[in-house]
Every structure is written in structure tokens, then in C-alpha cells.
């Protein structure tokens, strides 16, 4: 049975993110390898990923190659501030590229400051990236960046359990 997972802000090949986000990696190669391993350790080829933006700092060819190594039947990109144009990211291989992804249960945006009043007042879960280790003090708001999630994609139920306490 397929599952739906969430993750954000991998910043593959972004050398400066190691220091900026206090990532404990010796190199971008080690970081990239580890994040691919963590992704594929839970995501199967039948699953869907809602990726909350800021995928990689690399050429289109490198991003295509990387995406081909990541499990998932469908990988939807909620475009971040470091992602290229929608057309470019579709050419990389994302199945959809959107500014916001919304269902009857949740809303995903890259930057939590972009949530609308209507979204905040709804009973939906608000999933966001961009802040890395920082959190947003709002009920039902979950940071899906790699750092607080141990670089591992999570289902909505796992996020609810994680952020419950």
C-alpha cells in the first residue's frame, strides 16, 4: 500500500548549508549520500512525496540524476525560494511544481509566513519548510525541514506524533 511522505530543504550540493544549518557532515558528498540513504530507507517506489522546497544547488543534469536515485512514484515540489522556475523543475523530473499544495487535511507551503489567514484559521495541518531548525508557535503547524526530522521523510501521522509533545 502506498504512503504519502513529507520533507523539505535538503539543499543537496549546497556547501554553505552545512554551517548555516549546523549540519554535522564533513562534506557535501557525505551529506548528499546520507540524505539519499535516509529518504530511501522509508520511501518505496510506490509512495508519494510532498517536498516542501529548496531541493538542490546544482545543474539540471545533477538534479535529474539525484531525483532518479530517490524512491517515490510521484515527487511533488512545493517550490522554495532557492528552486528554479516551474518549467525548469518539471524538467528536473518533479511530477508537479506548485506554490502551495492543499488537501482536506493539510496545507504545504515553503515559507510559513506565506500561510493565509484562512489557512491559519482552518482546522488543517500547516506544513512548512524554510526555517530549518526553527519552529513556529502555532497549533497544527509542523516544520518538515530535514534537520528536525533527522533527514527522514515522515507521514502526516508520524508528524502529528512527533510534534504532539
Mean pLDDT confidence for 87-91: 97
**pLDDT at residue 138 above 80?**
no
pLDDT tens-digit map of 95-115 = 999 999 999 999 999 999 999
- 30 close to 15: Cβ distance less than 8 angstroms: no
Asked if 129 contacts 54 with a C-beta cutoff of 8 angstroms, the reply is yes
The pLDDT tens digits of the residues spanning 7-58 come to 999 999 999 999 999 999 999 999 999 999 999 999 999 999 999 999 999 9
pLDDT in tens, 55-75: 999 999 999 999 999 999 999
Confidence category of residue 135, pLDDT binned at 50, 70, 90: confident
Per DSSP, helices labelled H in the chain are 17-20, 28-42, 60-69, 86-92, 117-121, 156-164
The whole-angstrom separation of Cα 114 and Cα 28 is 30
Burial level of 119, CB count in 10 A (0-12/13-18/19+)? middle
Q: Where do the H-state alpha helices sit in 26-130? A: 28-42, 60-69, 86-92, 117-121
Whole-number Å distance between alpha carbons of 103 and 125? 10
- pTM, full prediction: 0.95
pLDDT at position 164 is 82
Q: Which three cell numbers stand for residue 164?
A: 504532539
Q: CATH: 3.60.21.10, 3.10.20.600, 3.30.70.80, 3.30.70.100. Which one for 4-164?
A: 3.60.21.10
Predicted confidence at residue 165, as pLDDT, reads 57
Q: Is the pLDDT of residue 134 over 90?
A: no
Q: What is the pLDDT of residue 132?
A: 81
> Domain coordinates of the chain in residue numbers?
4-164
For 61, what's the count of Cα atoms within 13 Å in the CB-facing half-sphere?
Answer: 0
Amino acid at each position: 500500500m502506498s504512503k504519502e511522505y513529507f520533507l523539505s530543504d535538503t539543499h543537496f550540493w549546497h556547501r554553505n548549508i552545512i554551517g548555516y544549518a549546523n549540519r554535522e557532515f564533513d562534506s557535501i558528498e557525505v551529506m548528499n549520500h546520507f540524505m539519499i540513504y535516509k529518504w530511501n530507507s522509508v520511501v518505496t517506489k510506490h509512495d508519494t512525496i510532498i517536498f516542501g522546497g529548496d531541493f538542490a544547488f546544482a545543474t539540471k543534469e545533477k538534479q535529474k540524476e539525484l531525483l532518479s536515485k530517490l524512491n517515490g512514484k510521484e515527487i511533488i515540489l512545493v517550490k522554495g525560494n532557492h528552486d528554479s522556475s516551474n518549467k525548469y523543475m518539471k524538467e528536473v523530473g518533479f511530477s508537479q511544481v506548485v506554490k502551495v499544495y492543499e488537501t482536506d487535511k493539510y496545507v504545504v507551503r515553503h515559507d510559513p509566513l506565506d500561510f493565509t489567514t484562512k489557512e491559519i484559521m482552518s482546522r488543517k495541518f500547516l506544513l512548512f519548510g524554510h526555517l530549518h531548525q526553527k519552529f513556529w508557535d502555532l497549533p497544527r503547524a509542523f516544520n518538515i525541514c530535514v534537520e528536525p526530522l533527522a533527514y527522514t521523510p515522515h507521514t502526516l501521522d508520524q508528524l502529528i506524533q512527533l510534534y504532539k509533545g
